[in-house]
Structure 1
Amino acid sequence: MAVDSPSPSLDSPAPAHVFTEMERWNQSRSNVLKTLATFWSFLVMGANDAAYGLESYYRLSYTVVSLVFFSPLGGYTLAALLNNKIHVHLGRRGVAFIAPSCHLLAYIVNCLHPPYPVLVVSFIFAGFGNGLADAAWNAWIGNMADANQMLGFLHGLYGVGAVLSPIIATSLITRAHLGWYYFYYIMIACAAVELAFCLTVFWDAKPTPESTSPDSSRGVLRRTLFTKHSGRVTWICAFFLLGYVGIEVAIGGWIVTFMMRVRHGADFASGMSATGFWLGITFGRFVLGFVTPRLGEKLAIIIYCLLEIGFGLILWLVPNFYAGVVAVAMQGFFLGPFFPAAVVVATKLLPRAQHVSAIGFAAAFGGGGAAVLPFAVGAIAQARGVQVLQPFIIGLSGGIFLLWCGLPRMPKLRVDGEEEEMGERGA
């Protein structure tokens, strides 16, 4: 039994072969508070990535400054390796303490604007905290009733943080004429609230005696990655998220340059195209989270991906600035549900004991897309021009479309224990 999902609501445990009733976010006051805590944690994570003014402050090239964006990947990778052990031995209470503490430590270091190598190391701690929280809260929310809607709100709050963060940071720099590091005073306050809130509401989420037994923790990640059924699902989700996150960050990072140089837009209007893209992702997560379960996760993402590719073709082939702004916002809208849907698929197709390991690994693997693929776009753009952005994005979208089609058939209901194991043996 894993500790990454809501505990059964019945007084006595259900037999292994019986379908278990799933908890709802508003089933109890405790669940409401825990859900709000996870939402706040994702808001903090979404606001985490502002790194404004580093080039001028440290007088470094863009290539050297880019290490700040690579370093969280090290923390994510470490979290992927340790996720299951932390859950088994410390429970969600351990995650509720460690993840916000890592955020708090990183932001305190950033406020001190230390030598640049120290700053890079501090973002490793932020990445480790993000990796733990990403796996824990995705798995916990993903095992609730109405998981698509709930994960849509969870990741929507991440999008809200990503939208607000650059607005606040830019205002502090341009309007208040403060250094880039003043933004992290706000982040310290947010992380302190995250630590107090999460630790308080998840204090009772201790590891169970079953989860701390040697058999429960031995080789879970190995089984998740290398058994026939679990490995297929986990690796497909991992490569899917690698491509998805790469698409998201590449568009978000390069669309302003594309709109200025290829569509000849004004600086401010081109900058708003990036805001429209991130708002599209945020609204897509909120709105399409209610549509996805009606269509089924597999069919829904196939449809969304085809629509996203269609709007990408409009952005690429229609030489009109305003059409491009609308098209990129719609790309974001249909990309929004991809990550939540991948989490739901993992929780439906994998045994519950593997949820944290699988989601943690896939999220860390996807983090590689954020670090590597935007720089691949940059390297190609330097040689061929920034107009290669959309052909690159469309090709990558086609790749993750084919990956998604390779998932096993989705079960209509989730099962626990013996039924799940039988499903894995039969796959």
Structure 2
Amino acid sequence: MIDTSNDDISEPFIHSLDKDVKHTVLFEDELIVMDSADWRNSMLLRFQILGGYFAFAFFGLADQTVGTLIPIYQDHYKINDVQTSMIFLALTSGYFSMAFLSGWSHTNLGVRGVVVMGMSCMIFSFIIISTDPPFFLVVVCYVFSGLGVGGLDASLGTWMGNLVDSNEIMGILHGFYGIGCMISPPVITSLLERKSNPWHWNSFYLVLACLGCSILAFLILTYRNETAKKYKYINVMKGRKNRKDPLQGENEEDEFELDSLSGSTNRPDVEGDESEEDQEDDDTHVSISEVIKSPMVWALAFALFTYVGNEVAFGSWLITYLTRIKKFSYKHSSYLASTFWIGLTAGRIVLGFVTTRAFKTELKANFAYVILTLAGYFSFWVLTATTSNELVIYPSVFFTGVVVGPIFPTVIVCALKLLPHRLQTASIGFICAFGGGGGAVIPFLMGLVAESKLGLEWFPLINVIVSGLVACMWIFIMKKYGSNFSANTI
């Protein structure tokens, strides 16, 4: 371990971001704790990954709570489909706000601060909703919830995407989101339909708030070293590493490393007075205006926006569609919704390993998943149009969930392998937040369709059409940017 807490360094220590041993570095008067990027070599990293998994399971619970409670909201508040969909619009505003705040929040708060802020926003909103407030206040609370989920999604997604075994770790991360989603429908249904002392719908939000507080405490403990100064230091070092001229050999880099360890200001550009060239490679200086000038960022953002929107719309409106159009019972409809999320969870966890081993690049893997997703939504449309036997529909819903599952994490890994390093954090934050916004916009639009003359019976066909749009977008991305893709290396 390299320890710079003592000014008397008796021997040269050469620091590298690629080291698999824990060490400390003095940077801008703060002792930065650097850990391995390989979970096999660090117990703390394993706990950090676990904390990220808990956080994603938590907002999976929260997201699907909305879809499960749509019929209850409408009965309790006497609102229609459009008014109900205002919740999704509120989530959108929160997500989009975080898209523009992602770079600033990471620079000023670090990964730790963004994660704590995200969980706190969600907990605050659920505490308010648990009091059974007027509906307009529920909508306002979901703005804060959207801010929280957007921050957690962007921060943890980018952070874990740069670890060793990123495909597998990201697949499991988003699989935990699916675990949360699949738990919500049966748990809420069983609590609300208990024969003795049934719960009121808002009581479940108090459970969410308490659970969120426990996860927040765990995240504060495990992410205690992920400060704003550490975030800046890593980006400065990676920018220098990427810019390094191999013809100059190792001496200049080693000299710089020794200076940074000892806290020397012989190279002032490391201590915060970066030269113009350094600033070009330091993504702590990347503004959102620079990010949105990239056509690649917008292509990935719109692909994720459309995919996430379709996924969440399907999961959120499925129960309402089955009870209203197919006349299934609320209990059996919630089981079918859970089947979709079970499939999604299994797909994200299992297919994350398949991606690395069965495909040459993540781009090609994702294209296969997108085409299979289109087939899944098409089969659901055909089956629901031709039969009312729910047992026949279960396999289709499960299969759709499985192939839908790995798309989100694989898109993030693709973005990390396509984008230059200096743009990664700000761009991934924007892509995740913009993409997550689709999870609010498209369900909101589905509510408009449900309230219109078209009616909710068009729900399965809309899923097919949007899925086909995702496939077209991914074909464009593959043809436009595929030649610059580096297979299985970050």
What TM-score do the two structures reach when normalised by structure 1? Answer: 0.85
Distance 2:133 2:317 in 1: 29
Measured after TM superposition, the shift of residue 82 of structure 1 is 1.3
Is the Cα–Cα contact under 8 Å of residues 185 and 334 in structure 2 kept in the other structure? no
Structure 1's 268 and 54: CA in aligned 2 closer, same or farther, altered over 3 A? closer
The reply to whether residue 45 of structure 1 matches residue 68 of structure 2 is: no
- Coordinate RMSD, CA, aligned: 2.7
Structure 1 residues without counterparts, runs of 5 or longer = 1-5, 14-20, 416-427
The residue number in structure 1 matching 2:130 is 111
Structure 1 pair 144–218 and aligned structure 2 pair: CA distance change class (3 A): closer
Q: Percent identity?
A: 30
The one-letter amino acid paired with 1:110 is I
Give the residue type in structure 2 aligned to 1:393.
N
Choose from 176, 181, 197 the match for 2:218: 197
- How far residue 270 of structure 1 moved from its aligned partner, in angstroms, is 4.2
Amino acid at match of 2:41: Q
The residue correspondences of 1:305-344 to structure 2 (distance < 5 A) are: 305-318=370-383, 319-320=386-387, 321=389, 322-344=391-413
Corresponding residue to 1:289 among 341, 352, 355: 352
User: How is 1:338-417 mapped onto 2 (pairs within 5 angstroms)?
Assistant: 338-380=407-449, 382-407=452-477, 408-409=481-482, 410-412=485-487, 414=489
Note the alpha carbon deviations across 1:325-370, whole angstroms, 9 max, x for none. Answer: 3222211110101100111011111123322322221222223322
Amino acid at match of 1:313: F
Report the equivalent of 1:163: 182
Larger deviation: 349-358 or 296-305?
349-358
Partner SS state of residue 40, structure 2:
coil
**Alignment partner of 1:180 is 2:208:** no
Structure 1 residue 260: Cα displacement: 5.8
Residue of structure 2 equivalent to 1:9: 19
Alpha carbons of 1:114 and 1:74: their partners in 2 closer, same or farther (altered >3 Å)?
same
Q: Greater Rg, structure 1 or structure 2?
A: 2
Letter in 1 for 2:377: G
Q: What secondary structure sits across from 2:292 in the alignment?
A: helix
CA drift of 1:22 comes to 8.1
Provide the TM-score with structure 2 as the length reference: 0.75
Q: 1:31-42 residue pairs with structure 2 within 5 A?
A: 31-42=45-56
Change (3 A) 1:131 1:396: same
User: How many angstroms apart in 1 are the aligned matches of 2:304 and 2:352?
Assistant: 17
Moved more, 62-71 or 134-143: 62-71
Distance 1:149 1:236 in 2: 24
For the Cα contact (< 8 Å) 1:312–1:390, is it kept in 2?
yes
Task: Say which is worse superposed, 245-254 or 207-216, in terms of deviation.
Answer: 207-216
Q: What's the offset of the Cα at 1:89?
A: 1.8
In terms of mean alpha carbon deviation, does 354-363 or 81-90 score higher? 354-363
User: Partner amino acid for 1:282?
Assistant: T
Residue 303 (structure 2) pairs with residue 240 (structure 1): yes
Distance 2:325 2:149 in 1: 35
Tell me which amino acid in the other structure corresponds to 1:344.
V
Query: What's 2:287 paired with?
Result: 220
Aligned length, in residue pairs: 399
Structure 1 residues 108 and 359: CA distance shift in structure 2, 3 A: same
Distance 1:90 1:172, change over 3 A: same
CA distance in 2 between partners of 1:356 and 1:126 (Å): 22
Question: By how many angstroms is 1:161 displaced?
Answer: 0.8
- For 1:191 and 1:385, how far apart are their aligned partners in 2? 37
**What's the CA shift for 1:124?**
1.4
Structure 1 377/122 Cα, relative in aligned 2: closer, same or farther at 3 Å?
closer
Change (3 A) 1:271 1:207: closer
Q: Which moved more, 1:292-301 or 1:250-259?
A: 250-259
Q: Structure 1 43/412 Cα, relative in aligned 2: closer, same or farther at 3 Å? A: same
Question: Deviations along 1:296-339, whole A, 9 cap, x unmatched?
Answer: 21111211222222233333335244443322221111010110
- Matches of 1:257 and 1:59, distance apart in 2: 16
Q: Distance in 2 between matches of 1:178 and 1:368?
A: 31
Q: Are the equivalent residues in 2 in contact too, given 1:22–1:143 (CA < 8 A)?
A: no
Q: Which one-letter code corresponds to 1:284 in the other structure?
A: G
